[in-house]
């Protein structure tokens, strides 16, 4: 490709609101342009990288036995209603009506579509297992879209769906996909951590994210030093250390407590440790239920864990007015003790306790009245949670059950794999296979996704320096960046063109040839470093019958004879 | 691929509303499934064919120097408003709002998007010409979607857009694309006619369709026997033969005419030839203008030609009430003579005459009153059209200007190329290049499209017999269909598996291996003919250490030695 003819040349300045290196460099070097927030054009250079990533994913998926296909982008909304995802996905879903008033969801993920397809066939145990995957444009109506390709509203995703007759069979595929994904990311030059994570609105019981460590990543996760455990903060499990369980339970008493609303003010006033306090957080879920989350004072509530425990998909904090007018309690003084007796009779209140409250006796905290506290609250004696479980946010320094210390990391999620089990096949009618005894049973599923644009941006986040991108060989848009200098000199020009022909025609190499005549050497070198192709060749008056060779990452260049080129 | 593991096996019956062979066969053989009307899944077999078509198009486009990129699917509606296409495209356009109330068009074609992209760069004459293309999903909200992939509401299109600094430069690209498209379709096994056609809502001055002749095609076009002229019926030009021009103009007279509303009744009543009659058709356009189209009695009005002449983009017939109450004329008796004097003053009426009225004298027809006709109407004496031009429908048997007879044909439009000229760059701000003298001028454009799904279906329309599809080599999902019979016999099974390995691993051939044990030979042969892979190999007890070889199109089979396989 002659750079003079390439559409999407480098520019010197980038818009001020561009924050991340990958966004800045991909913009500056001419790989992408924004259409509207979160929607991007891939320019010819960006397209080539995107295709290389797609090809690597395709090769590994095909090798694994998965079969490529494609589903429509517009999904009939009836399918999403069958699984109730029109509610659970919430605002991220865009929908559109056609001229006949049929309504469609703009696909963000395609579980229902694939189940709907598979149930059109009368599949039997003999047809299983199979794994179908596609590359297709996905839509997420994110409230804010920032960060270039790292978080777009429209992007190409490789999404795969596997169908099995049993959990045992599924687990083999799940393990296989872990390996396939690891291979894919390795070929792309990315080191990934496989991290237990939350399944969000996808459903199912467990899932893993593939995370590339990065300070700009949105995924916070916790790992043990030896790497034997890695989990997203929304699901990370840790051991609650036992506190004063050997203490005997004292009588509960109500005391005056003229204090503010914070936990610290309670500690200061009563001179008791933070861990002995009960922390109360009141939420309202999507059904209008009030949820009182209670936890040991030295821990924090994780809302994702809480939602799983109480089976809700949206939470908001209750307002001060709701606490006063509907719960008849007092902000900063809420207590699980006796709360169900004072609330409006129309209100459904769920008390959800973190298991940490089982590690403390004689706890203290609010008394549902302003400036009144309770001492010696004991779980299952003075208050009975509706449900006890894990709703605590994991943090660095906590330990696993096996007493290994957790370290906190940040990273970019580039892929994820989900156990879906019967989540979809049980909700959607006829999502069955015929077993070998002739009976019908729902099929068992898994799903597997890689965001291509985000992966592309992650490669740039990992591989760049202050001068520009440093493409790994497998993803570089071209293999060689050939620079012609002094092209107004006919001899040099002729030689540069001959070498370009030699490389492309004879050696079938993929070459970007900077053949611009009116551009200075300095600008060409700067552009070359910015674009980031691994190998730079220069032909100029000075190089004579040789060619200057330099790798993008190295500072040294050397002069090569033409014959050596074929070895590149 | 082992057929036992393939998703999307053959079925015996198809839904009753499936009419076309391609739709029926692609459904039955397991290449496609419908999601909702006009939206299709490509199953693994269909996907492979689709990818082969895409690859051939990509190779030819790249070879031509065009650069692949991709634009978002959701286009900001503001861009479509800049060019007024939100109006001109009409109902086919779907739009969607995001959570921030930003409105987007679901892209059906991407002229505005590409102009918007290009104007983000400060391009100069040095950067031109360039041609950008993409493969992306397109949306058309067709009122009815029938015919499988032949007319879908959602489909992948290769759309390309070229940018030039002059018409001269554009014309080179236009000619090049004619050749590129011809090559593409030839490689796909399709013979195409290049037919002048209407540019619809795309804009520009001229365009051509690539049409594969087929009785089920929706494109009606006219060609001369020698093929030197081919044009869609909406644009086909033909010579109006001169009638009684040597007659002298007689005085106009009004006569009683107790007749019905048809042309034939006028002919019968007055005993004058049909060609001497004036045919009047009254339309209303999208702006509410009334359009009186008049033409010689032996011709018919073509609405597309009429719309071009009067610069409208939607027409409907005026109702009987409108003719009476607003025009104050009479259905069946409309006349251009004096009509502007009798209409409501609030009404804008445009009289558009076909040039055929210049070939006749002393015409007769209605008198704008019931049962009253006029004799001896003469154009430019008794009535003055606002505009005279070509609004006549071309038909078989008419002659070109060069006196060559036109033949009528039907076909499927698989591609089209458009001159856009300044149509978009003049409507959209800053769609400019810097010329070599430093001045700014709008760029000159062309665009070029191929629908992949329709092309795929067309291949099947052309290549099939009563037993199934007959894929040309270049588009076949697999190179070889290997059938194993008697697979319960361990020796045969072992040999079949060995041959499969040999073909795929050693010879790197793409093989579909029917390895099903519980399926009869008859069914396997039927499935094989239905799926349509060019070469069939059979291994059974009977074939011993040889292999039966048969081509899909031939009736004869022969026994081959294993070594011969490498030659396939």
Task: For residue B29, give how far its alpha carbon lies from the nearest alpha carbon of chain A (Å).
Answer: 13
Comparing B561 with A182, the larger pLDDT belongs to A182
User: Which residues of chain B are within 8 Å of residue A43 when distances are taken between CB atoms?
Assistant: 69
CB contacts under 8 A, B 136-195 vs A, are 136-137, 139, 141, 143, 153-154
Q: Does B74 touch chain A (CB under 8 A)?
A: yes
Task: For residue A360, give how far its alpha carbon lies from the nearest alpha carbon of chain B (Å).
Answer: 46
Torsion of CA B424, B428, B430, B434, to 10 degrees: 10
* Total CB pairs under 8 A between chain A and B: 146
Task: For residue A127, give how far its alpha carbon lies from the nearest alpha carbon of chain B (Å).
Answer: 6
Which pLDDT score, from 0 to 100, does residue A292 have?
98
CB contacts under 8 A, A 418-477 vs B, are none
Which pLDDT score, from 0 to 100, does residue A203 have?
78
Which pLDDT score, from 0 to 100, does residue A91 have?
62
**Given an 8 Å threshold on Cβ–Cβ distance, is B113 in contact with A35?**
yes
Task: For residue B252, give how far its alpha carbon lies from the nearest alpha carbon of chain A (Å).
Answer: 51
**Given an 8 Å threshold on Cβ–Cβ distance, is B116 in contact with A35?**
yes
Of A8, A96, A99, the CB nearest to B106: A96
Q: Spell out the long-range contacts of A316-322 with Cβ–Cβ below 8 A and sequence spacing 24 or more.
A: A316/A283, A316/A284, A317/A281, A317/A282, A317/A283, A317/A284, A318/A282, A318/A283, A318/A284, A318/A290, A322/A282, A322/A284, A322/A290
Q: Does A505 touch chain B (CB under 8 A)?
A: no
Beta bridge partners of A418: A207, A447
Residue A31: closest CA among chain B residues belongs to which residue?
Answer: B69
**Given an 8 Å threshold on Cβ–Cβ distance, is A41 in contact with B71?**
yes
Residues in chain B: 568
Least confident of A108-112, B4-8, B490-494, B555-559: B555-559
Residues in chain A: 568
Give just the sign of the alpha carbon dihedral A364, A367, A371, A372: negative
Comparing A145 with B191, the larger pLDDT belongs to B191
Beta bridge partners of A415: A210, A450
Choose, out of A36, A63, A89, A456, the residue to mutate when testing the contact with B (most B CBs < 10 Å): A36
**Given an 8 Å threshold on Cβ–Cβ distance, is B44 in contact with A8?**
no
**Given an 8 Å threshold on Cβ–Cβ distance, is A121 in contact with B8?**
yes
Which pLDDT score, from 0 to 100, does residue B568 have?
66
Cα(A152)–Cα(A154) distance, integer angstroms: 5
User: Which residues of chain A are within 8 Å of residue B40 when distances are taken between CB atoms?
Assistant: 72
Which pLDDT score, from 0 to 100, does residue B70 have?
98
Q: Print pLDDT tens along chain A (568 aa).
A: 999 999 999 999 999 999 999 999 999 999 999 999 999 999 999 999 999 999 999 999 999 999 999 999 999 999 999 998 887 776 688 999 999 899 999 999 999 999 999 999 999 999 999 999 999 999 999 887 778 999 999 999 999 999 999 999 999 999 999 999 999 999 999 999 999 998 877 777 899 999 999 999 989 999 999 989 999 999 999 999 999 999 999 999 999 999 999 999 999 999 999 999 999 999 999 999 999 999 999 999 999 999 999 999 899 999 999 999 999 999 999 999 999 999 999 999 999 999 999 999 999 999 999 999 999 999 999 999 999 999 999 999 999 988 899 999 999 999 999 999 999 999 999 999 999 999 999 999 999 999 999 999 999 999 999 999 999 999 999 999 999 999 999 999 999 999 999 999 989 999 999 999 999 999 999 999 999 999 999 999 999 889 999 999 998 888 887 766 666 6
Q: Does A12 touch chain B (CB under 8 A)?
A: no
**β-strands A372-377, A253-256 pairing:** antiparallel
> What ipTM was predicted for this assembly?
0.92
Question: With contact defined as beta carbons under 8 Å apart, do B413 and B194 qualify?
Answer: no
Residue A119 vs residues A112, A399, A431, A434, B159: alpha-carbon distances, Å: 10, 46, 5, 11, 34
List CB contacts of B523: < 8 A, sequence separation 6 or more: none
**Given an 8 Å threshold on Cβ–Cβ distance, is A44 in contact with B127?**
no
**Given an 8 Å threshold on Cβ–Cβ distance, is B98 in contact with A102?**
no
Cα(B267)–Cα(A251) distance, integer angstroms: 113
User: Which residues of chain A are within 8 Å of residue B127 when distances are taken between CB atoms?
Assistant: 4-5, 7, 9
Task: For residue A432, give how far its alpha carbon lies from the nearest alpha carbon of chain B (Å).
Answer: 15
What domains are defined for chain A? Answer: 47-68+114-237+407-461 (3.30.930.10), 253-389 (3.90.960.10), 478-567 (3.40.50.800)
In B338-475, DSSP assigns E strands to 349-354, 363-369, 372-377, 387-389, 406-421, 432-434, 440-442, 444-451, 464-465, 468-469
Residue A46: closest CA among chain B residues belongs to which residue?
Answer: B69
Residue B143: closest CA among chain A residues belongs to which residue?
Answer: A99
């Amino acid at each position: 490709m002659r750079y003079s003819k390439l559409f999407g040349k480098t520019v010197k300045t980038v818009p001020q609101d561009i924050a991340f290196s990958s966004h800045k460099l991909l913009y500056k070097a001419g790989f992408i342009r924004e259409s509207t927030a979160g929607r991007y054009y891939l320019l010819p250079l960006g397209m080539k990288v995107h295709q290389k990533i797609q090809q690597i994913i395709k090769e590994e998926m095909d090798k694994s036995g998965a079969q490529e296909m494609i589903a429509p982008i517009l999904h009939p909304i009836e399918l999403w209603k069958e699984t109730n995802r029109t509610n659970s996905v919430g605002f991220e879903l865009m929908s559109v009506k056609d001229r006949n008033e049929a309504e469609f969801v703009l696909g963000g993920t395609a579980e229902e579509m694939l189940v709907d397809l598979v149930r059109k066939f009368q599949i039997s145990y003999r047809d299983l297992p199979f794994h179908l995957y596609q590359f297709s444009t996905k839509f997420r109506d994110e409230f804010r879209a920032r960060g270039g390709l790292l978080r777009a509203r429209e992007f190409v995703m490789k999404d795969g769906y596997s169908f099995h007759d049993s959990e045992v069979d599924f687990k083999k595929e799940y393990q296989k996909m872990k390996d396939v994904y690891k291979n894919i990311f390795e070929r792309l030059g990315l080191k990934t951590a496989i991290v237990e994570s939350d399944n969000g609105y996808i459903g199912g019981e467990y899932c893993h994210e593939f995370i590339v460590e990065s300070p700009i990543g949105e995924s916070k996760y916790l790992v043990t030093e030896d790497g034997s455990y890695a989990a997203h903060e929304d699901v990370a499990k840790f051991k609650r250390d036992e506190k004063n369980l050997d203490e005997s339970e004292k009588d509960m008493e109500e005391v005056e407590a003229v204090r503010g609303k914070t936990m610290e003010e309670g500690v200061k006033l009563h001179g008791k440790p933070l861990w002995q306090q009960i922390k109360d957080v009141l939420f309202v879920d999507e059904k209008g239920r009030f949820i009182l989350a209670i936890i040991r004072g030295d821990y924090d509530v994780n809302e994702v864990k809480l939602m799983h425990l109480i089976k809700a998909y949206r939470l908001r904090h209750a307002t001060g007015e709701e606490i006063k007018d509907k719960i008849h309690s007092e902000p900063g003084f809420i207590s699980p003790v006796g709360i169900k007796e004072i609330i409006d009779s129309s209100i459904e209140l769920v008390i959800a306790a973190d298991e940490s409250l089982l590690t403390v006796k004689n706890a203290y905290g609010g008394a549902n009245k302003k400036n009144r506290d309770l001492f010696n609250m004991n779980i299952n004696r003075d208050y009975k949670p509706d449900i006890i479980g894990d709703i605590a946010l994991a943090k660095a320094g906590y330990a696993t059950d096996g007493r290994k210390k957790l370290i906190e990391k940040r990273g970019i999620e580039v892929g994820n794999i989900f156990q879906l089990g019967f989540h979809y096949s049980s909700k959607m009618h006829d999502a069955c296979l015929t077993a070998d005894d002739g009976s019908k049973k729902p099929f068992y599923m898994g799903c597997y996704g890689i965001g291509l644009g985000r992966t592309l941006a992650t490669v740039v986040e990992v591989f760049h320096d202050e001068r520009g991108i440093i493409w790994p060989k497998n993803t570089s848009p071209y293999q060689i960046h050939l620079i012609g200098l002094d092209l107004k000199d006919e001899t040099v020009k002729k030689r540069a063109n001959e070498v370009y022909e030699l490389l492309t025609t004879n050696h079938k190499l993929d070459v970007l040839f900077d053949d611009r005549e009116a551009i200075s050497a300095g600008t060409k070198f700067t552009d070359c470093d910015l674009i980031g192709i691994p190998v730079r060749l220069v032909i100029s008056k000075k190089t004579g019958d040789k060619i200057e060779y330099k790798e993008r990452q190295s500072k040294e260049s050397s002069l090569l004879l033409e014959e050596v080129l074929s070895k590149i």
